[in-house]
Amino acid sequence: GENVEQHPSTLSVQEGDSAVIKCTYSDSASNYFPWYKQELGKGPQLIIDIRSNVGEKKDQRIAVTLNKTAKHFSLHITETQPEDSAVYFCAASIGAAGNKLTFGGGTRVLVKP
């Protein structure tokens, strides 16, 4: 089955700096890669996703890049703000309707003011 590795497990950045989280996956059939943000005591919130027909996607301060050949994808957050502090999870699936997501282990991001 699919295996998703996520690094780093914790990330501390100064407000205004960039944060990068990387994930690798094992199943070459995977073609849908969402990123979720989870604040303490809440459910995960979808912040951005990418499908394998594109290499990069941006939404304001957030961007995701995908390298299907190397089987890795990354989340980039620019101009970080304290409210970006949370746990971020990457995931992968084969992108079919109702298909299971395989999650990475999560990255705890702390943005220091």
Partner 1 sequence: GAVVSQHPSWVICKSGTSVKIECRSLDFQATTMFWYRQFPKQSLMLMATSNEGSKATYEQGVEKDKFLINHASLTLSTLTVTSAHPEDSSFYICSASPLAGATDTQYFGPGTRLTVL
Token digits for 85? 């502090």
Residues of span 10-49 touching partner 1 by CB under 8 A: 32, 34, 36, 41-46, 49
- Residue 94: strand, helix, or coil: coil
Amino acid at 8: P
Closest approach, Cβ 40 to partner 1, in A, equals 10
Handedness of CA 110, 100, 72, 48 (dihedral sign): negative
Q: Which CB atom, from 85 or from 104, has the smaller least distance to partner 1?
A: 104
Nearer to partner 1, 81 or 99 (CB): 99
Per CB under 8 A, 2 contacts partner 1: no
